Structure 1
């Protein structure tokens, strides 16, 4: 069995299909999606429908991201968060134009059932953004941190590589898990179009919301599979201009 972590999709269904074709996914494989399935490119509703159907065929875990929280709120109440609207919500609302009330209800249930994090049987943590508690995710007070925090990744990037896990100087946040997989902060912000590794943290978000690619990583081999750059797949669209 292979296990893959897949980065932030942001409405890029064409990129998702490209990546899954490159993986040559098998029935016994498992996929962990790092969140932010919507907002950006024009096929957000179609991405959700595709993922629902995919999960009926193979084992999938869908971590909830901040954009998913916003979309869930809109599907539940029809209220439009103005911040969300400016950061891809407009395109997501438009993508639902042809979806029925019952279909939207099914999608709402899909969002509501998403976990905020997942820990597998090898003690690998999957979380959209990060956490701040030095005691790990189960001690986090503010759950919004799971899909908004960037300090975990910032800390991992700045950790001295000469400080090992046995040192008193090693960050306590990083000691709880064998590996930590995140999305949320595009690696393209750091001039990288492939997943980045710092300490025991892997960042799988390679900027699909903007001008980057969608990435999937085989967690055992660390082999990376990528789509084309999203603007090439959606040449008549702009994608998101802001994080």
Structure 2
């Protein structure tokens, strides 16, 4: 039976990606929706991009662009290496591309350029890396960088009174626009959870794979999820990124 599966932030952890696809028993009939931040952190960023390019040729995949992906895209296209990127996993990403030809680099650049800012499915469920600030929805967002950087959407959901009714005038209008919203970007380990978190109608799939957590994949309809081993166990000779 065809499933819709959503995958959180990978951050260079290719071994974790292979694990969760295997543990979820992903088949070519499943649709895969990736929430972004494929690169930066662990040492196999370029391997992930190559794998995803090939995977997309075999099955239905949606690729959302994260803030780290935007940095990598800028480097591939313009050669930009801002210090904030290098110190947040970018240096390992650059090193992972050491043996790539110009033709291969161009193919990866085109993959980044084709990524979506967000995706809305046929059941009015939104998939976005970080969030949006406009009360009229992401299509009305003034600053496109918010798709990849905004945390106010998640912060709003986390801080809401659970007793607040959707019929209340105080209920955040941004959250009423979609049946459900799936995000990454802000690790759930910040709230003490190693698993995907649900606040209001938002599901956060970033379970800290860039740090000490695992990579997660979830069935959008049933909410069943599978996780990799913690990334430090898969890469014992690496440090990943600093603790959140």
> TM-score of the superposition, structure 1-length normalised?
0.99
Matched, 1:80 2:110: no
* 1:64 positional shift: 0.2
CA contact (8 A) 2:212 2:243 kept: no
Question: Counterpart in 1 of 2:126?
Answer: 125
- How many Å separate the matches in 1 of 2:68 and 2:142? 21
* 1:78 positional shift: 1.5
> TM-score of the superposition, structure 2-length normalised?
0.98
- How many Å separate the matches in 2 of 1:45 and 1:90? 12
CA contact (8 A) 2:130 2:150 kept: yes
CA contact (8 A) 1:3 1:219 kept: yes
Task: Write the deviation string for residues 87-110 of structure 1: whole angstroms up to 9, x where unpaired.
Answer: 000000000011111111000000
In the TM superposition, what are the counterparts of 1:187-202 in structure 2 within 5 Å? Answer: 187-202=188-203
* 1:17 positional shift: 0.1
Question: Counterpart in 2 of 1:151?
Answer: 152
CA contact (8 A) 2:209 2:231 kept: yes
Question: Counterpart in 1 of 2:53?
Answer: 52
* 1:242 positional shift: 5.8
- How many Å separate the matches in 2 of 1:132 and 1:77? 29
- How many Å separate the matches in 2 of 1:105 and 1:16? 23
- How many Å separate the matches in 2 of 1:79 and 1:197? 36
Matched, 1:239 2:240: yes
CA contact (8 A) 1:74 1:81 kept: no
Question: Counterpart in 1 of 2:36?
Answer: 35
CA contact (8 A) 1:39 1:88 kept: yes
Q: Which runs of 5+ in 2 are unaligned?
A: none
SS at match of 1:240: coil
- How many Å separate the matches in 2 of 1:164 and 1:178? 15
Moved over 4 A (4+): none
- How many Å separate the matches in 2 of 1:127 and 1:182? 5
Q: How many residues align?
A: 243
Question: Counterpart in 1 of 2:187?
Answer: 186
- How many Å separate the matches in 1 of 2:102 and 2:228? 32
* 1:26 positional shift: 1.4
Task: Write the deviation string for residues 120-176 of structure 1: whole angstroms up to 9, x where unpaired.
Answer: 000000000010001111111000011001110010011111112121111000010
* 1:79 positional shift: 2.2
- How many Å separate the matches in 2 of 1:3 and 1:99? 33
Question: Counterpart in 2 of 1:90?
Answer: 91
* 1:187 positional shift: 0.3
- How many Å separate the matches in 2 of 1:207 and 1:68? 17
CA contact (8 A) 1:11 1:38 kept: yes
Task: Write the deviation string for residues 178-236 of structure 1: whole angstroms up to 9, x where unpaired.
Answer: 00000000001111000000000000000000010000010111001000000000000
Question: Counterpart in 2 of 1:67?
Answer: 68
SS at match of 1:221: coil
Aligned Cα root-mean-square deviation (Å): 0.8
